[in-house]
Structure 1
Amino acid sequence: MPTFQGPKNGADQRIGIVVAQFNELVTERLKAGALAELQQLGVSADNITVISVPGAFELPRAAQQMSLSGRFDGIIALGAVIRGETDHYQYVCSQTAGGLAAVSLNGPIPVMFGVLTTDTLDQAINRAGGKVGNKGRDCAAGVLEMIGLTKLLKA
């Protein structure tokens, strides 16, 4: 039975990172984790572009523009949405997830979903380099794996 898994080889890969400014305490940690992992996996700093947007809701549009530009082999979208006292949390989470999924499914390159959706700031920090790892690092490895898998399946 054939089994495929994309290699996590960053050599010559051009990666775009779009990061939300809102909840910057968390998103900066996610970005730092992604950058460290990409460089550890062989992506040259010259081949990484970071774009900043106001909040998680703006991530899909920026990711779409990056995807269509032809300048990237993969995209990492990073943000943090922390539950508040209103329904705003549900709308932002739903629309951000759906928008990024649409860009990845309908676009030419993979888009990794690195948006934390947590109940508390502590939970978010724990997933941005704290007790539970760093989702930014996970997405960096994942985007390289998806780029490699896409190439394997086209061959």
Structure 2
Amino acid sequence: MQRKDIEGKLTGKGIRIGIVVSRFNSHISHHLLEGALDCLRRHGVNDVTVYWTPGSFEIPFVVKKVMNRHDGILALGAVIRGDTPH
């Protein structure tokens, strides 16, 4: 397999980002959040608000409520098949 990396010189200076993160499976979602924050920092994004939800089910509702406050929204959560007791 041949890998081809494409990189750009994007700048996020002055951009407001909201990140909606699920607390369920936090051992995964915390790593997703840290990776997202690292990427945003490297691209100059300084205005970030993190919103926490109990689970992934609530993420779209929170996104809808806060989307007009930000230039972009990230939704982070981990749904693992068979991991939810119901």
Query: Which bin holds the TM-score, normalised by the shorter protein?
Result: 0.7 to 0.9
Would you say 1:65 and 2:30 are equivalent positions? no
* Identity between Structure 1 and Structure 2 (%): 48
Aligned pairs, number: 77
Q: Deviations over 1:82-129 (max 9, x none)?
A: 01078x7xxxxxxxxxxxxxxxxxxxxxxxxxxxxxxxxxxxxxxxxx
Map 1:5-154 → 2, pairs under 5 A: 8-44=10-46, 47-67=47-67, 70-84=68-82
| Unaligned runs of at least 5 residues, structure 1 | 1-6, 89-155
| Unaligned runs of at least 5 residues, structure 2 | 1-8
Tell me the CA shift for residue 9 of structure 1.
Answer: 2.0
Q: In 2, distance between residues paired with 1:30 and 1:83?
A: 18
Change (3 A) 1:59 1:85: closer
Moved over 6 A (4+): none
Change (3 A) 1:10 1:85: closer
TM-score by length of structure 2 reads: 0.83
Tell me the CA shift for residue 36 of structure 1.
Answer: 0.5
Which structure has the highest helix share of the two?
Answer: 1
Tell me the CA shift for residue 18 of structure 1.
Answer: 0.2
TM-score by length of structure 1 reads: 0.47
Counterpart secondary structure, 1:82: coil
Q: In 1, distance between residues paired with 2:57 and 2:71?
A: 23
After superposition, the CA RMSD in angstroms is 1.7
Counterpart secondary structure, 2:40: helix
Q: In 2, distance between residues paired with 1:65 and 1:25?
A: 26
